[in-house]
Amino acid sequence: MREHFVSPEVRELWKRYPARISTGSLSRCCRQPMVLVQAMEGGFVTQNCSACGTQDRVSEDEFLRLSLWVACPECRKPMVKEIVRKNYAFSCEACEGYIKLASLLPRWEDL
């Protein structure tokens, strides 16, 4: 399975887009929605408090429960949530490619 090539310009646009993906949980610190962010290079994802930025890990179960529909950039078919090379990702069975969840998320410092 190969990572879909997405140009750096498109990937940067995804990261700057103002949409935020909530895990459906409230933070323990501020009781505000937790949102997914790229915590570090390489694809590590955390859920951070939308008010103060305090981070918490995202369990595999939380990832699999996300109500998020991602279309394959090549064939446009819905992609499947799975773990690819130790990263949460969306894979396309038809194209045999994947996109890391972190590629679609804002960086933690941009929250």
Number of C-beta neighbours around residue 47 at 10 A: 25
Range name among 4-8, 70-74, 103-107 with the lowest pLDDT average: 4-8
Strand order in the sheet with 55-57: 22-26, 33-40, 44-49, 55-57
- Report pLDDT digits (tens) over 42-100: 889 999 999 999 999 999 999 999 999 999 989 999 999 999 999 999 999 999 999 99
Tell whether the model's pLDDT for residue 8 goes beyond 90. no
Where would I find the H helices in the chain? 8-16, 60-65
Tell whether the model's pLDDT for residue 35 goes beyond 90. yes
What does the block give as tokens for 76?
Answer: 């446009």
